[in-house]
């Protein structure tokens, strides 16, 4: 069994939160070295708090949680309270986290962790804007050989944008950071809207999670019920796409997904299409393939995995 050593970079967000719970449920396959947080769905003071609350919920108050960049590299911060609620994780009780916030800046944690690691040994899992990741790469280019792979959530091709007509939110918040990541030369697996919109948290699936009857599953249901209201109304679908957990699910069971090596470029200038991911799916340019673009997911297998792993919190 392959064991992955991860740093998860996130902006919780209900779907980030589910991704964290999925990752922390699977210590045999995933060694989470730390969780770094970034401004995105909600401002940084909330994303770092929300990540710590998920560590409390998962019984991992020992987890290293770091706060990172509170704004994008160039743009002003845009957030998504209309999707996630004012707390960022509406649908779950908000208290004061027991998991401490580490004093070290997230970027310095990423740099120091990678510098202390062997070549090609660390998997980065960014599921929010890429600001922390890009800042670490700019600050310490020597860390690049230490990165085994980057498994990220972001981008859109056939699905179109979710926060502008042509851009997915993580790409739109910080397109300049996303470009730095796509140009870094390390292996990248990209879970965009094309695949996350295939794994909808339908009412039936949420009810199966609720039937698990443990506190983590209950919290997940509360978050999913809130998170689903926006996209269900917007797309007329039964449930919200579980964007960020696709990255963790791929690490656990890559066979759930199908992807293709492509060139992916991010628009960083046009006011009309800023943050657009130009995915050269059919190889019509001579641009180098720099990522695997995921385009198909087995939704039933995805939820079987998620439900089986959330059930583990009941036997803890
Ligand atoms: O567009 C979806 C992405 O933006 C997800 O990562 C969600 O959490 C938000 O960050
Ligand atoms: Ca996210």
pLDDT of residue 230: 87
The number of beta carbons lying within 10 Å of the beta carbon of residue 70 is 15
Tell me which residue has its CA closest to atom 10 in ligand 1.
128
Atom of ligand 1 at shortest range from CA of 80: 9
The number of beta carbons lying within 10 Å of the beta carbon of residue 256 is 22
169 CA distance to ligand 1 centroid (A)? 6
pLDDT of residue 1: 64
Q: How far apart are CA 39 and CA 173, in angstroms?
A: 9
Closest ligand (CA of 41): 1
Q: How far apart are CA 235 and CA 250, in angstroms?
A: 25
**Mutation pick for ligand 1 pocket among 9, 10, 11, 81 (CB with most ligand atoms within 8 Å):** 11
Q: How far apart are CA 200 and CA 240, in angstroms?
A: 5
> What is the per-residue pLDDT across 221-234, written as a single tens digit (0 to 9) for each?
999 999 999 888 88
Q: How far apart are CA 120 and CA 130, in angstroms?
A: 20
- Long-range CB contacts (within 8 A, 24+) of 215-219: 215/57, 215/313, 216/21, 216/57, 216/58, 216/310, 216/313, 216/314, 217/310, 217/311, 217/313, 217/314, 219/57, 219/92, 219/93
Closest ligand (CA of 9): 2
81 CA distance to ligand 2 centroid (A)? 12
pLDDT of residue 255: 98
The set of residues, in sequence order, having a beta carbon less than 8 Å from that of 103 and lying 6+ positions away, is none
Q: Domain 4-311: which topology? A: Inosine-uridine Nucleoside N-ribohydrolase; Chain A (3.90.245)
Tell me which residue has its CA closest to atom 2 in ligand 1.
169
Q: How far apart are CA 91 and CA 159, in angstroms?
A: 27
Instruction: Report CA dihedral (69, 70, 74, 75) to the nearest 10 degrees.
Output: 140
The set of residues, in sequence order, having a beta carbon less than 8 Å from that of 312 and lying 6+ positions away, is 25
Contact at 8 Å (CB) between 5 and 117? yes
Residues of the chain with pLDDT under 70: 1, 316
Q: Which of 206, 273, 188 is nearest to 242 (CA)?
A: 206
**Active site residues per annotation:** 243
128 CA distance to ligand 1 centroid (A)? 6
All structural domains of the chain with their residue ranges: 4-311
Ligand 1 neighbours, Cβ below 6 Å, are 11, 13, 15-16, 40-41, 127-128, 153, 162, 168-170, 243-244
Q: How far apart are CA 92 and CA 171, in angstroms?
A: 27
Classified as helix, coil or strand, 167 is strand
Atom of ligand 1 at shortest range from CA of 163: 1
127 CA distance to ligand 1 centroid (A)? 7
């Amino acid at each position: 069994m392959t064991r992955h050593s991860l740093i998860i970079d996130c902006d919780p967000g209900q779907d980030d939160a589910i991704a964290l719970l999925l990752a922390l449920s699977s210590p045999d396959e995933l060694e989470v070295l730390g969780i770094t947080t970034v401004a995105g769905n909600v401002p940084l003071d909330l994303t770092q708090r929300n990540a710590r609350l998920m560590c409390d919920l998962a019984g991992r108050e020992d987890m290293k949680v770091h706060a990172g960049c509170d704004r994008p590299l160039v743009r002003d911060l845009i957030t998504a309270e209309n999707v996630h609620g004012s707390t960022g994780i509406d649908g779950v009780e908000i208290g004061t986290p027991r998991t401490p916030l580490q004093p070290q800046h997230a970027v310095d944690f990423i740099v120091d962790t990678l510098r202390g690691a062997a070549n090609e040994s660390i998997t980065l899992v960014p599921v929010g804007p890429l600001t922390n990741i890009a800042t670490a790469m700019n600050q310490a280019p020597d860390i690049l050989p230490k990165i085994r792979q980057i498994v990220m959530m972001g981008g859109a091709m056939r699905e179109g944008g979710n926060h502008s007509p042509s851009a997915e939110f993580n790409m739109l918040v910080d397109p300049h950071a996303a470009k730095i990541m796509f140009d870094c030369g390390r292996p990248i697996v990209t879970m965009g809207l094309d695949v996350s919109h295939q794994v909808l948290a339908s009412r039936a699936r949420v009810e199966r999670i609720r039937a698990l009857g443990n506190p983590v599953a209950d919290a997940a249901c509360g978050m999913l019920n809130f998170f689903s209201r926006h996209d269900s109304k917007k797309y007329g679908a039964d449930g919200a796409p579980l964007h960020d957990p696709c990255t963790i699910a791929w690490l656990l069971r890559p066979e759930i997904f199908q992807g293709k090596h492509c060139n992916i470029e991010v628009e960083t200038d046009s006011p009309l299409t800023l943050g657009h991911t130009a995915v050269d799916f059919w190889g019509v340019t001579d641009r180098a393939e720099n990522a695997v673009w995921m385009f198909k997911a087995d939704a039933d297998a995805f939820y079987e995995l998620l439900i089986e792993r959330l059930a583990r919190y009941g036997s803890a």
